[in-house]
Chains A and B, each alone.
Chain A
Amino acid sequence: MSVPIIMFFACALLAVLGAVLLILAREPIHSALALVLVMMSLAVLYLLLGAPFVAAVQIIVYAGAIMVLFVFVIMLLNAGVEERTDFSKIAKWVGVPLGFFLLLVTAVYLLHSSIGTTIATGVGAANQAADTRELSQQLFRQYLFPFEATSILILIAILGALVLARKDE
């Protein structure tokens, strides 16, 4: 067992654990924290794939900005404990088997694709060539238009949120 493989399984387990906790926790803050756990484990997985920039951005954007806002809003609204409803019949009889089926399909796909072996052998961690400079050149030369289009979309969304939140006068 090499260190990358141990790290991979530890973080993969943590990510799954966090995701399950996210659904099962009844206190909204606990759910939010579980989601932070998922984000952080994913960041480590990105590191193992040899993408430190993506890992850092994952932490800054998701764990450091978005989830902090979530926690902030939950605290501000003082959201109480969730109330459980009975599970719907459709979810029970169709959703659960379908979920397992999807899991199976993904597992079989990963077994036969190169992605799975790249992660598991930790080859990616040694291959740090995909550095920040290269990434930004791709982003600001080849994919400049989609990049700018996305940023304008986000700007529009922010403006929309402001308009919705503004009081009528």
Chain B
Amino acid sequence: MGFITQHPVLVVSLVKIAVLLFIVMTALAYLTWLERKVIARIQSRWGPYNVGAHGLLQPLADGLKFLFKEDMTPPTSDRLVYLLAPFLALSLALTAIALIPFGPPSVRVLGQSVFIISDVDIGLLFLLSITSIGVYGVALAGWSSNSKYPLLGGLRSSAQMISYEVSLTISVVGVLLLAGSLSFNEIIEAQRGYWLHFIPRWHVVPQIVGFLCYITAAIAETNRIPFDLPEAETELVAGFHTEYSSFKFAMFFMAEYANMITVSCLATILFFGGWLSPFPDSWTWQIFLPGAGLVLLGAYCAYDTVINMRGIAQIQFLVVTLLALGGGAISLYPPVASVIQGPFWFTTKILAILFFYIWMRGTLPRFRYDQLMSFGWKLLLPVSLANLVITAFVIIWPLLRHG
């Protein structure tokens, strides 16, 4: 007990970490479900449908399958590094999420901010530093497997991640110049307010070039289509994780999706005002939006349950319906509604960006390797550099004129 009273920050942080870990893990699982559903819809298929209503239990089934599969280690591999690589990939991907503020710092319990795990002064720099060492997971996996395709995949992805990291970092600096801070909270606060009373002062407006560079580089950083050369199955089997099976493979998989979430969070914070609402504060009814959205979702689920579902799926979907309706009812209660404002907008924006990610995957073909490299170095880097220089010039111009 003495320890708890002496170090309240430590204890509260541990609780927050545990809760966030649970939420993120669930989100990861259902992100795979969402991706399969959206891709299926784009390709005129059904996607997962049989395990649970609308395939809602599919992530759970996949997780169990990974757990119970045989875990094989190639005898010629470098055992230590082979084991280290997936752990490194996943733990770094999850560490990065700890830096993200999910809501305003003003919501506090026991004097500790609820929605912010660690409020680092130089949050952005730390996030970039963590993503910059994320390459090791992929590179080491490729090398330690001691096999041709993983090595080629590892080499490709290291080269790709190093190349696009440069553009990623430079495209972010424009926002830093506008906000004048490296702290996520201050970057979000800098985007408060409106142009012409209704256009939110999000950085995406003045930094549209920066945003386009960022999202392109981010897709390449997370090894997603159209930049998924490291795991191009037609050329490299499965790239760096060819030799991984069972749960170690699942760890790479989770790391990839965790990185997607991190990158979307960062885009939301830097360019879309983080947890700020897109509507002016004078629109007081907006605090009922999360509840209203959930109730609408519940109503649709109820309709679906009655009309389309039969048998066990009907019962399963009834649970989903009740959850949505109950959540909606709680969210409509004003004190709760005002607290969940921040996280609601943050989640909505992240979901929009994630949907964009999946949409890209369903639409675009894969680049060729030389196209990838020349695109990164000869187009993306110069454009993001030019954006940085112009932004800096626009900011410094009034200072130069007046003195």
Chain A interface residues toward B at CB < 8 A? 3, 27, 29-30, 33, 36, 52-53, 56-57, 59-60, 63-65, 68-69, 71-72, 75-76, 128, 131-132
Docked CA distance A65–B122 (Å): 19
Q: Is the CB of A64 within 8 A of B154?
A: no
Residue of B nearest to A74 (CB): B143
Docked CA distance A118–B78 (Å): 41
Q: A52-B121, A72-B159, A75-B158 are in contact. Are A64 and B139 (CB under 8 A)?
A: no
Docked CA distance A25–B121 (Å): 37
Chain B residue numbers with a CB within 8 Å of A59 are 129-130, 132-133
Q: Is the CB of A72 within 8 A of B162?
A: yes
Q: A30-B81, A75-B142 are in contact. Are A68 and B135 (CB under 8 A)?
A: yes
**Known A56-B125, A59-B130; further 4 A-B contacts with Cβ < 8 A:** A3-B10, A65-B132, A71-B136, A75-B143
Q: A75-B142, A132-B122 are in contact. Are A68 and B81 (CB under 8 A)?
A: no
Docked CA distance A57–B126 (Å): 9
Q: Is B289 an interface residue (CB 8 A)?
A: no
Q: Is the CB of B162 within 8 A of A68?
A: yes
Interface residues on B, range: 20 to 34
Contacting residue for B158 out of A63, A71, A128, CB 8 A: A71
Closest Cβ of chain A to B133, distance in Å, is: 5
Docked CA distance A131–B183 (Å): 11
Query: For residues 7 through 21 of chain B, which have their beta carbon under 8 Å from a beta carbon of chain A?
Result: 7, 10
Chain B residue numbers with a CB within 8 Å of A63 are 129, 132-133
Q: Mark B330-368, 1 if CB is under 8 A from A, else 0.
A: 000000000000000000000000000000000000000
Query: For residues 120 through 175 of chain B, which have their beta carbon under 8 Å from a beta carbon of chain A?
Result: 120-122, 125-126, 128-130, 132-133, 135-136, 139-140, 142-144, 151, 154-155, 158-159, 162, 165
Q: Is the CB of A132 within 8 A of B155?
A: no
Chain A residue numbers with a CB within 8 Å of B155 are 72, 75-76
Q: Is the CB of A3 within 8 A of B129?
A: no
Q: Is the CB of B129 within 8 A of A53?
A: no
Q: Is the CB of B7 within 8 A of A3?
A: yes
Q: Is B182 an interface residue (CB 8 A)?
A: yes
Q: A30-B81, A36-B136, A128-B121 are in contact. Are A60 and B142 (CB under 8 A)?
A: no
Q: Is the CB of B122 within 8 A of A64?
A: no
Docked CA distance A87–B133 (Å): 35
Q: Is the CB of B125 within 8 A of A29?
A: no
Residue of B nearest to A65 (CB): B132
Q: Is the CB of A69 within 8 A of B139?
A: no
Q: Is the CB of B126 within 8 A of A68?
A: no
Q: Is the CB of A52 within 8 A of B139?
A: no
Question: 6 closest pairs, A vs B, by CB?
Answer: A64-B132, A59-B129, A56-B125, A60-B129, A56-B129, A72-B158
Docked CA distance A65–B131 (Å): 11
